[in-house]
Chains A and B, each alone.
Chain A
């Protein structure tokens, strides 16, 4: 494998592992919040805001992974330009 293939592979592994962790965490947060709502439906309004906040904070880490994957792919463009 040449350098370009490694760059593409590392970008996809970086993003997919970030998404994997993020989905596990978001699934746990959403399931606990739904459990709380199911036990006490009157608390749905109060649970909604902290749940959205937690989901957003988890999602931001996944998006950092997205950004890093983009940075790696830009390196791919540089490598491709040097190869030409």
Chain B
């Protein structure tokens, strides 16, 4: 029965996707709220419900080490969390990974839920709009600067930008400031471009051939959504790791 409903979902044409017409634009015409905002509220609700179901599952379990049988929400959430924890440990190191994991996993899960929403026919991903992704990018920007200042202090944090040689600091400082200020914009544009491009391709192909042919593009949509959430999170982790790194003079002396 589940398989049948999935097949019906895949074979039903989502011809309207390319015209930019879906549930959320329909709702936004009625309520005068932008479509991506409604989609984001819907995605946040899904995110909250999954989180609550996971919490309920975990609280009723006696032995937390034994996983559930088959594919359950608990198994999916825990395998994603495990994967991100391993990546965070390899990128930021053991201690930083534990300290900054709450933000990293929030960004990953939130973007993943919102990206995968775009695959369902008649739906859209809120990440197709630059406003949503730029908000996420700016949050990351504020977070890694704040954590960097908290970890090493304001003066040392500013010294990171000046480079290793005092004579060249006046040249390197502006370049570093520009390259760091551009980070939220490049994160936002990458996520938005990928999700929008993917949805556009899906729409164009389901308009060309409504049946069967778009199936690989649904698969690609899920894959790209996962990959872009991973890339956004990976870059967030790298930025946090770079901002909170301790560049002590003892360390330099030890290398020489």
Q: From residue B235, how far is it (CB to closest CB) to chain A in Å?
A: 8
A17 at the interface (CB under 8 A from B): no
Identify which of residues 13-65 in chain A touch chain B, using a CB-to-CB cut-off of 8 Å.
49, 52-53, 56, 59-60, 63-64
Q: Looking at chain B, what size class is its interface with the partner chain? A: 10 to 19
B109 at the interface (CB under 8 A from A): no
Contact A60/B186 with A52-B234, A66-B197 known, Cβ cut-off 8 Å: yes
Interface size class of A (residues with CB under 8 A): 10 to 19
Known: A52-B227, A52-B231. A60 touches B189 (CB 8 A): yes
Name the residue on A nearest B90 (C-beta): A49
Question: In the bound complex, do residue A67 and residue B189 qualify as a contact, i.e. CB atoms below 8 Å apart?
Answer: yes
Interface of B is mostly: helix
Least CB separation from B197: chain A residue: A66
Note all chain B residues with C-beta closer than 8 A to A53: 231, 234-235, 238
**Chain B contacts of A52 at CB under 8 A?**
227, 230-231, 234
- Name the A residues within 8 Å of B193 (CB-CB): 60, 63-64, 66-67
Q: Which residues of B contact A67 (CB under 8 A)?
A: 189, 193
A56–B228 CA distance with the chains assembled, in angstroms = 8
- Judge whether B190 and A60 touch: CB under 8 Å: yes
CB neighbours of B234 from chain A (8 A): 49, 52-53, 56
- Chain A residues in 8 Å Cβ range of B22: none
